Structure 1
Amino acid sequence: MNSLLCFGVLVFGTGVGLGQKPHPCRTPPLLSGSMTVTAKEGQDWVFAKYRYDAFGQRIRLWEFGKSDSKTFHLNMLFLFREGVVYNIDYRNETCQKNVLHTTFHPSEVPHNASLLSQVILGGSSAPGEGLLVNTWTGVLPETQGKYLATVTEFGCIPVSSLYYTPQTGWVVTSFFNAVTGIEDPEQFIPPSFCTDVQTEEETLDFFSAFL
């Protein structure tokens, strides 16, 4: 299940002043939050907490979901500079380590994205009732996947995204509880029981690692 396409593919952002035409930009380099992802017409789904560090090129994911009628839990650490990904099991103190064959791409609106609309989610009768957002659309050259991404006007925070390829079908992502910054940077450090683990022969990219 190509669920967490949000980082480097589906997380987009924009931030401009009122009265100006929105322009593509990157999301905050340090971001914490939660997300849900559904695919295969809702048959596959994931709830995940994430930590995103563009400075260190690191992503941490805690996931619970269902794929192919089976539930799963995952605790994954992606270290792009080191070129490795860890699948961590704290209960059994075991760790799987694979080579990560993926270049880190900061979350951003592609420069050739087209602004579809700017709307207020919720209400506009009084302050605090709504959220001003922009929706972007386009095609990613790497995958030829079509996307529709909604982000906040201020702060470059992702709200939702839709992504489609014939291989994946529609992948729908919703983001919530986003906070700028990382509360505990040690979450990006592999636990001690991962230190001497042997690297698996299989090389993964970001999406196949999640699979």
Structure 2
Amino acid sequence: MLLFVIFCLLGCTFAQLPKPCISPGQWEARVRTSNPQLKAELFGKLTYDSVYHRTRILQDVTVGTTETYYDIITFYEGKLAFFIDKKTDVCSRVPFDQPWRDYGIQADARFVREAYIGSSAVSSSGLLVTVWSGNTTIPINQTATYIGTWTYDGCLPISDITFEPHDRINYTFFYDITIGISDPNVFIPPRQCLTEKEYNMRHTLFGSLKSKNLN
């Protein structure tokens, strides 16, 4: 009888574990990333499209005492990125072969807990979030562990902490998220980045249509 009760309790416990919610596929946000070990800090505005695996970020990066300003458009499936130096307006076109980093909750993520940012004791003074952890592949093609936070309502990302090899920790925080992409042409690179032929076909190659062969 006792064994039966234990199995029933275990069944109830597992049944109550939340399933990963589904984040919006396209959104925009302000983002802050820091890596204390590298003395690196990034502030930027991110346009994120997990439907077609592409991003655009206007970023201000400080590494030590060096500060740079870049506008970066990345096409993960096309394996191509454009780096526009905002100081010189020079555009660099580079091959880009890194895995897509999805800021939604992964299907194999492990549920950690629910919590309030702020307080649940006073009305409208807290935000209910869910916390998940798992493994991810970082740009140097190594596996790292992460722990992330998403809003309970809407499943919007709030924070991502990635524990990289060599005791490096990368912190990312998202602010002022708006769902959807306000400018349908945001992923079209500036004129100086494109050949004449590409510029004439810019809406087909880089606009709303998905393209896997950009280079």
1:178 maps to 2:177? yes
Q: Identify which of structures 1 and 2 has the higher relative contact order when contacts are C-alpha pairs closer than 8 Å and 6+ apart.
A: 1
Give the residue type in structure 2 aligned to 1:145: A
Aligned with residue 44 of structure 1, among 37, 40, 43: 40
Residues 69 and 86, structure 2, Cα contact 8 Å, conserved in 1: no
The answer to whether the 8 Å contact 2:38/2:63 transfers is no
Letter aligned with residue 181 of structure 2 = I
SS in 1 for 2:104: coil
Which SS does the other structure have where 1:193 is aligned?
Answer: helix
2:151 aligned residue: 152
Relative to structure 1, the CA distance from residue 106 to residue 140 in structure 2 (aligned partners, 3 Å threshold; closer, same or farther) is: closer
Structure 1 unpaired stretches of 5+: 1-19, 198-211
**Greater fraction of residues in strand:** 1
Q: Does 1:129 align with 2:128?
A: no
Query: CA–CA distance in 2 between the matches of 1:147 and 1:54?
Result: 19
1-side partners of 2:82 and 2:116: how far apart? 40
Summarize the Cα distance change of 1:132–1:38 in structure 2 as closer, same or farther, 3 Å threshold. same
Aligned partner of 1:82: which letter?
A: G
CA contact (8 A) 1:58 1:79 kept: yes
Task: Give the RMSD, CA atoms, in angstroms.
Answer: 2.4
Point out where structure 2 has 5 or more consecutive residues left out of the alignment. Answer: 1-15, 197-215
Q: Give the direction of change, closer, same or farther, for the CA distance of 1:106–1:170 in structure 2 (3 Å limit).
A: closer
Take 2:91 and 2:179, find their aligned partners in 1: how far apart are those partners? Answer: 29
Structure number with greater Rg is: 2
Give the distance between the partners of 1:51 and 1:97, measured in 2 at CA. Answer: 19
- Between the two proteins, what is the percent identity of the paired residues? 24
2:93 pairs, out of 97, 100, 110, with 97
Q: Which residue matches 2:190?
A: 191
Q: Name the TM-score, length of structure 2 as normaliser.
A: 0.74
